[in-house]
Chain A
Amino acid sequence: MKISFSINGQPQTVDVEEETPLLWVVRDVLGLKGTKFGCGKAACGACTLHINGEAVRSCSFAVKYAEGANVTTIEGLGTNENPHPVQQAWVEEIVPQCGYCQPGFMMASAALLSKVADPTDDDIDNHIINICRCGTYYRMRKAIKRAATIQNSKTSNS
C-alpha cells in the first residue's frame, strides 16, 4: 500500500507492504543506511530514529504507523557543517569506536535532550538503554552532558 510521510524534512511516498518495519523502508527503499539493524526485536536500539521527535526503535515499528509522520534519521539530525549538539559533542569527545551502534545512541540522546535540557546521571541511565559492545558508554555519558551544554548555550544565545 502507499504510505506518505516526511523524512528528514522531505515528503516521501512509498509503496510497500504495510507491516514492513520502518527500518527496512528507510534503509532499503529510501537508501538511508545510517539507521542500523542490530536485533530486529527492539532489544538493542541500533535502529533508533525519531518519529515526531520521539525516539522509536524502527525495526519493530510497522511503516503503516508512520503515515503522515515526521521521521528523522541520523542523516537528518545534523551535518558536518551544521551538526546537532549531540553530534558536535560526539566529535569533541571522540566517542565512536566501531561506530555501528552510535547513530542509535545519538538519536536516543537527542530525544532525551529535547525533553530534559540538563540530564542527570540517573536521567541518562534510565533513558539511554541501547547496547554498545565496544563499551563507549563512558565517553557517551560525557558527550551527552557536553551536548546539553552546547544546546543550552545555543538556546540562550538565540
Chain B
Amino acid sequence: MGKKKFSRRKFIARTLAGSGGLFVGLSLTGYIARNPIRRQINKFVDEGESPYQGDISDPMLWFEVTADNKLTLFSPKVEMGQGSFTSLAQIAADELELDMSFIKVAHAQSGTGNLDQFATGGSTTIRGLWQPLRVLSATLREMLKAEAARKLDVPVSSLKMEDGKITDGSRSLTLGEVVEGVEEWVVPEAPAVKDVTEYTRVGKPVPRVDLNDKVFGAPIFGMDAEMPGMLYGAIVRSTRVGARFMGADTSKAEGMPGVVKVVLEQDFVAVVAASYTQAIDAKRKIEPKWEVDRSWTTGDIEEMITVGKGQPYVIQKNGSPAEILNADGVYTAEYRSPIGAHAQIEPHVAVAHVKGDQADVKMSTQVVRITRDQVANRLGIDKENVNIVPAFLGGGFGGRLETPIATYAAVISKAVGRPVKCFYERQEEFQNDTFRPPTHNVLKAKLTDNGSIAAMEHNVSSGAVAWGSPMLPGFLETVLGADLGAWRGGMIQYGAIPDFQAISWKVNLPFATSWWRSLGLLANTFAVESFMDELAEQAGKDPVQFRLEHIQDNKAGQRLKGVIQAVTERSGYRDKSTNGVAMGFAASTDAATPVAMVAQVSMDGSEIRVEKVTCAMDPGLSVNPDQVKAQVEGCIIMGISGAVYERMYIEDGQLRPVIYGPYEMARMKHAPKEIDVILLQGDENPGAVGEPPLGPVGAAIANAVYRLTGERRREMPLSQALA
C-alpha cells in the first residue's frame, strides 16, 4: 500500500461555541470511496483492503480537546474486546508526541455525525484507520503548534510537545490554553507522517487502555446502561423456525404486578414493567399466536445444504480442472459443519428514550449507522434525530451486525413515553440468533505420478452469510451471485496447482444465518486443510512439504510459506505421534493475513485434548503485539470450541439447545495449557488480525486426531460425544 495523501478539503476543524474545545476531524471517504463498489468488495475479500462507503460531508474520525487539557479521540469503530481502542491510542500518541495518558478513546455517538459507514467487523478497524489516524494526528499536532507559536510569538520550529504541553523550552502552554479563544483554525496541508521506526508506542505491547474498567467492574457495557425513570421491556420472541407473528392474547399479562403497559405491534408484542423480573413474569402470561408452514428438522437442513443443490457459482478457476477430474483415479472426500451460535455472554440490549421526534438509544452494537437508520425509519423521524450511544460490547463475534432490538426498544419507549431497557433471555438468544450457517464441502483431486496435485476442485454449499445482511446493498447479490461471506476460506490457496477451481453453492435456509467471526473460514479451512493432509498421505509425502510444493512464488505465497516454515520450526513438527501425543498442521490465508498452526493433541478416552498450539501469523505490522497475540489465543480457543464442541440442531421445528452447557463450548479445561504465537511482519502496514487465526484450528486438530487414532473425522464438531 502506498502513501496516501489527504487534502485539506477533507479535513474539518471547528470550534464549538462555549465548549472551549477544538474539534478536528477527517473524512475518510475521499480516501477510499473512489473505487467502484464491486472492485472494493473484491479487494476486501481477496486482498483484505477495507471497504468504506460514505459521503464526503460525514467525517469519521474526530479529536476533541477536553477541559482537563487532554484529548479525546472519538472512534467510529466500537470496542468489543479486540483491543482496538488501545491501538488507536498508541497510533495517536506517537504522532501527537503525547503520552498515552493524555489521550482517551471513546465511542462516537451517531448524533455527532461521526459515523462509520460500514460496521465494526471483518478485522478492518486498525488496518482501515491506520493511515487516516496517523495523518489526522500529525495534522492536529501541527495545528496546535502553529497556534501555540502565534500565542507565544515564537517560531513554530522552536516548539515541541512535552508532558502534554507545547513548550519552547522556557514557556509552555497546556492543550486547553492553546485552543482557548480560537475562532477559526487554519488547517495546513497534511504533513508527512512519521516513519514507523520513529514510533515509541506503536509496535510495543502496552497494556490495554480499558484494563482497569474491566478488572474493577466499571459499568461500561450496554447491559449496564440506564436512563432516569427507566422501565423494563420484555419482548416475546418465537421458539420455532420460520414462525410468523400473528398477534397475541395479552389479557392475562395486563393485570400482573408492576405492569405499565402491554405493547402489541404488527410484528411483535412486549410488556413493560417497573422491574425486570416483573416484566418477565408478565411476559409469561402473554399468549402469542404464531404461524408456521412446517416443522423443520436437522435432516431437512442437511439435505438442503448438499453440494449439487442450490445455485452454483464458480468463484475461482485456473485451467480446465473439470476434464482432469472426470477421469479415473480421482481422490474425493466430503466434510460437514453444523449450525453455530454466536453465544456471546452479554445478550442483545438497548435502552431507548423517544421524546417527540427525538430518540436516544444506549446499546451494544457493531452497526451504529444501520441501527440508527432502522430506528429512524420505524419511528418515521429524521436519521439525524436518532442518537445511538454505543457502549462497550460484551462480545460481538458478528452477532451484533444486526441489532433490531434498538428498534423494538424505541417503539416500546414511544408507547409508554418513558425510557425503556430491553434485552433478550438466553433461550431467545440461542433460538433467534443470526447463526453461522451449516456447510457441506466436497473436495476432489488427482495426483500426478510423482505425487503432485494435477487438478483440484472445492465445492462448498452454505447458507447465507453476507446476503440478506442490512450492511450490504441488495444489488450486490445480483452482481456477485456467490455469497462473499460463505466462500471465505473456500478459495484454493495452492496456486501452483496447474488446474483448479472453487464453486460456491448458494442455499436459502428457513432461519437467519449471517456473520460469525471469520465467516466461512473455520468450516471451509477445516475441509480444505483436512483434505490436503489426506492428499499428502495419498502422495506419500510429508504434509507440510506437500503444501509448500503447491504454493505460488508471489508475495502472498512467500508470506504463506514464511508462516508455515516458522511454525514447523518452532513446534518441531513431526508427521507421527509420540507418547500418545500427535501434531496436526493446517494453514490458511484470510483477508491477506496468512496463518499456520500446529496443534498437539492427545486423547483422554474418547475426549480430544488440545495440549498445545503453536501459531505463526503474518498480519503485517502489529501495532500492539500483545493484543495481536491475545486475538490469536482467543481465536484458537474459539476455534477449538466451534470445531470440537459446538452444534445447534433442529428438532420439532425448534433450534436447540437453548442454554450453555447443552450447547457445549470450550471451557477452562479444554483450553490449551500452552499457546506459542509467532508474529511475522511481511508488510509495512497493519493487516487483518481478529479473524484469520480461526482458519486452521479445526483442520489442525482433525489432522492430529487422525494421526493418533487412524480415524479421519470429517464432521464438525469433532468430539465423539456428539457423533
Contacts and interface: CB of A to CB of B under 8 A. Distances in A.
Interface stretch (B35-43, B107-115, B204-212): B204-212
A44 B667 contact: no
B345 A133 contact: yes
A75 interface: yes
A17 B273 CA distance: 14
Contact of A98 (B80, B212, B669): B80
A138 to B, nearest CB: 5
Interface in A66-90: 73-75, 78-80, 83, 87, 90
B216 A137 contact: no
Contacts, number: 176
Contacts of A46: 345
A63 to B, nearest CB: 10
A3 B626 CA distance: 46
A137 B81 contact: no
Determine which residue in A28, A33, A135 has the highest number of CB atoms from chain B within 10 A of its CB, and name it: A135
Given A39-B659, A96-B208, A134 B215 contact: no
B390 to A, nearest CB: 13
Contact of B216 (A79, A98, A131): A79
A53 interface: no
A101 B223 CA distance: 12
Nearest to A124: B668
Interface string A2-34: 000000000000000100110010001000111
Residue among B80, B342, B638, B668 with the highest chain A CB neighbour number at 10 A = B668
Given A97-B630, A98-B80, A135 B208 contact: no
Contacts of A36: 221, 223, 345-346, 394
Interface in B347-402: 347, 392-397
A102 interface: yes
B72 interface: no
Given A43-B660, A44-B660, A133-B395, A141 B215 contact: no
Contacts of B207: 91, 94
B665 interface: yes
Interface residues of A, number: 57
B217 A91 contact: no
Given A36-B394, A41-B426, A97-B83, A17 B277 contact: yes
Contact of B345 (A28, A75, A131): A131
B634 interface: yes
Contacts of A130: 667-668
Contacts of A35: 217
Chief secondary structure at chain A's binding surface: loop
Interface stretch (B44-52, B308-316, B404-412, B670-678): B670-678
Contact of A106 (B215, B223, B342, B638): B215
B208 A94 contact: yes
Given A36-B394, A131-B665, A137-B637, A99 B213 contact: yes
B668 A141 contact: yes
B394 A98 contact: yes
A40 B426 contact: yes
A83 B168 CA distance: 41
Contact of B672 (A17, A98, A138): A138
A123 B344 CA distance: 26
B636 interface: yes
B277 A21 contact: yes
Contacts of B212: 80, 91
A80 B207 CA distance: 15
Q: Among the interface residues A80, A100, A125, A132, which one has the most CB atoms of the partner chain B within 10 A? A: A100
A99 B671 CA distance: 18
A133 B627 CA distance: 16
Contacts of A32: 217
Nearest to A107: B217
Nearest to A125: B669
Most B-side CB within 10 Å, residue of A124, A126, A132: A132
A111 interface: no
B675 A138 contact: yes
Given A80-B212, A100-B221, A131 B660 contact: yes
Contacts of A17: 257, 277
Given A34-B217, A78-B216, A135-B666, A100 B208 contact: no
Given A97-B83, A99-B210, A103-B217, A135 B641 contact: yes
Interface in A30-69: 32-41, 43-44, 46
Contact of A94 (B211, B277, B397, B636): B211
Contacts of A152: none
B661 interface: yes
B226 to A, nearest CB: 8
Given A75-B217, A138-B671, A100 B395 contact: yes
Interface string B421-445: 0010110000000000000000000
B216 A121 contact: no
B425 to A, nearest CB: 6
Nearest to B220: A99
A79 B425 CA distance: 31
B671 to A, nearest CB: 4
Interface string B609-634: 00000000000000000110010011
A92 B275 CA distance: 38
A100 B641 contact: no
A135 B215 contact: no
Contacts of B327: none
B566 to A, nearest CB: 20
Given A131-B667, A133-B397, A135-B633, A97 B82 contact: yes
Nearest to B205: A94
Interface in B146-204: none
Contacts of B661: 43
B34 to A, nearest CB: 35
B468 interface: no
A129 B668 contact: yes
Nearest to B79: A98
A90 to B, nearest CB: 5
A122 B537 CA distance: 37
Which of B393, B423, B425, B630 lies at the interface centre, i.e. has the most chain A CB atoms within 10 A of its CB? B630
Nearest to B397: A133
Contacts of B634: 97, 134-136
B6 to A, nearest CB: 32
B81 A99 contact: yes
Contacts of B395: 98, 100, 133-134
B218 interface: yes
A128 interface: yes
Contacts of B224: 33
Contacts of A94: 207-208, 211, 626-627, 630
A141 B675 CA distance: 12
Given A133-B343, A135-B636, A24 B673 contact: no
A28 B425 CA distance: 17
Interface string B477-513: 0000000000000000000000000000000000000
Given A78-B216, A133-B342, A138-B671, 9 more contacts: A24-B277, A34-B219, A38-B660, A94-B627, A97-B82, A97-B630, A131-B345, A137-B670, A141-B673
28 contacts: A34-B219, A36-B223, A37-B347, A38-B660, A39-B426, A43-B659, A43-B661, A91-B207, A94-B207, A94-B630, A96-B210, A98-B395, A99-B81, A99-B214, A100-B346, A100-B394, A102-B214, A102-B215, A130-B668, A132-B345, A133-B397, A133-B665, A134-B634, A135-B636, A136-B630, A136-B634, A138-B633, A141-B671
Interface of B: 80-83, 207-208, 210-221, 223-224, 257, 275-277, 342-347, 392-397, 423, 425-426, 626-627, 630, 633-638, 641, 659-661, 665-673, 675
List the 9 closest A-B pairs by CB distance, nearest first. Answer: A34-B217, A135-B637, A100-B394, A98-B81, A99-B214, A97-B81, A137-B671, A74-B217, A33-B219
